[in-house]
């Protein structure tokens, strides 16, 4: 049963096979197979030729046929904790794209219970007839590794430790370096009096953003007029703006996320404060709504899709048995970028 795509030019009406892709690319069908497995040792020029042929023929691997031949499932399981309302959509989107490009399907598995219970419940997933590999976004590294060592045959497991049991970001995604960039940018616009509406202190990302904000204000010799403890909600931003920021003398506000920033803008406007004429407001996350706020919200864009792609690629390297060194890790500057919009502007002219 051949792997199939759309009709090749030499056989109209018949779906493309891996051999059609190989012929068009000028390579062997084994090379095409290596490309579909995302073989990291393939030369870039060869990979580009195969990619162009795949796109031109709109080739799609027949995963069922491949599974029958190789006794592999061609599926990757992504493990998330079940006890959360937060799903990292961008991370999952990037992970799914990278998996599909390599010819794998992605299964999302939510697991309830504590870490030990969750590790025990994925025993069936550690059998290769179910999945070829596991990518965990939960902090189960020790449990999974211990379970895998006692289970034969073993399925490769990659743990991307960016979230805790409640999907609160930590590690690279909790990096707050961009908070310094925000304060420095606003200071460059002449702002000297600042305020911050923080996220809940139980979140590493919220603690880090507050700490970097306070350190940068101190380093630049600026003044922090208010730090309000919020809870990621629009309401906390609105209340913080009305009760603590308006009238404080602050001319620039760094909100811990976009939703908080939405509330800050509306709160300031509700008491007659012009944004950005009197107070500039900066958020974090680049939520779509911020682009349509009046004024549009300046924010930090976080490339979560890239993080998901890189996590799957780490797993694909393990599946391919690649003995080479790990690629250089992403750093915060690759994931975080300031997006400047209408909610920020020059500091208002001082009276006198």
For the segment 14-71, what is each residue's pLDDT rounded down to a tens digit? 667 778 888 998 998 778 877 766 666 778 888 888 888 887 887 766 544 454 444 4
Q: Could you tell me the sign of the dihedral formed by the alpha carbons of 92, 94, 97, 99, in that order?
A: negative
Cβ contact 50:35 at 8 Å: yes
Domain ranges of the chain: 14-42, 73-159, 173-302
Whole-Å CA distances, 248 to 32, 48, 186, 264, 295: 64, 58, 17, 14, 22
CA–chain centroid gap for 136, Å, is 14
Rg from Cα positions in the chain: 25
Q: Range with the lowest mean pLDDT among 65-79, 130-144, 239-253, 293-307?
A: 65-79
Tokens at residue 286, please? Answer: 């680049």
The span from the CA of 92 to the CA of 160, in Å, is: 12
215 three-class SS:
helix
**Of the candidates 267, 258, 243, which has an alpha carbon nearest to the alpha carbon of residue 209?**
258
The answer to whether the beta carbons of residues 78 and 100 sit under 8 Å apart is no
Q: Which fold would CATH assign to domain 73-159?
A: Rossmann fold (3.40.50)
Give yes or no on whether 73-159 and 173-302 have one common fold: yes
Q: Give the span between the Cα atoms of 163 and 167, in whole angstroms.
A: 5
Residue pair 253/195 in contact by the 8 Å Cβ criterion: yes
Within its chain, how far is the Cα of 77 from the centroid?
17
Pick one of 1.10.760.10, 3.90.850.10, 3.40.50.2300, 3.10.50.40 as the CATH number of 173-302: 3.40.50.2300
- Whether pTM > 0.85 for this model: the answer is no
Residue-wise pLDDT tens digits, 159-207? 665 554 544 454 545 567 889 999 999 999 999 999 999 999 888 888 8
User: How far is the C-alpha of 317 from the C-alpha of 37, rounded, in Å?
Assistant: 9
């Amino acid at each position: 049963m051949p792997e199939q795509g759309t009709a090749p030019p030499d056989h109209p009406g018949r779906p493309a096979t891996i051999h059609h892709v190989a012929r068009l690319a000028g390579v062997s069908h084994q090379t095409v197979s290596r490309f579909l497995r995302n073989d990291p040792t393939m030369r870039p020029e060869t990979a580009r030729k195969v990619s162009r042929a795949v796109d031109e023929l709109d080739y799609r691997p027949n995963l069922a046929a491949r599974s029958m031949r190789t006794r592999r499932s061609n599926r990757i399981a992504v493990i998330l904790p079940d006890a959360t309302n937060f799903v990292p959509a961008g991370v999952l989107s990037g992970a799914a794209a990278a998996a599909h490009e390599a010819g794998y399907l992605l299964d999302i598995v939510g697991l309830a219970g504590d870490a030990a219970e969750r590790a025990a419940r994925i025993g069936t997933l550690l059998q290769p007839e179910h999945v070829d590999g596991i990518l965990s976004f939960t902090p189960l590294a020790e449990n999974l590794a211990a379970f895998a060592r006692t289970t034969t045959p073993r399925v490769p497991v990659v743990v991307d430790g960016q979230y805790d049991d409640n999907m609160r970001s930590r590690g690279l995604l909790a990096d707050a370096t961009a908070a310094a960039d925000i304060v420095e940018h606003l200071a460059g616009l002449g702002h000297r009096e600042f305020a911050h509406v923080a996220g809940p202190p139980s979140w590493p990302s919220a603690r880090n953003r507050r700490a970097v904000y306070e350190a940068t204000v101190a380093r630049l010799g600026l003044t922090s007029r208010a730090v309000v403890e919020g809870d990621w909600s629009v309401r906390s931003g609105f209340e913080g703006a009305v009760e603590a920021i308006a009238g404080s003398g602050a001319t620039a506000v760094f909100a811990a996320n976009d939703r908080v920033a939405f509330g800050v803008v509306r709160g300031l406007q509700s008491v007659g404060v012009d944004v950005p004429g009197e107070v500039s407001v900066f958020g974090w996350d680049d939520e779509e709504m911020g682009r349509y706020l009046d004024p549009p919200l300046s924010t930090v864009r976080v490339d979560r899709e890239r993080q998901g792609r890189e996590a799957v690629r780490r797993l694909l390297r393990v599946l391919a048995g690649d003995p080479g060194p790990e690629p250089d890790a992403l750093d915060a500057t690759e994931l975080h970028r300031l997006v400047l919009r209408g909610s920020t502007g020059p500091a208002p002219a001082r009276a006198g």
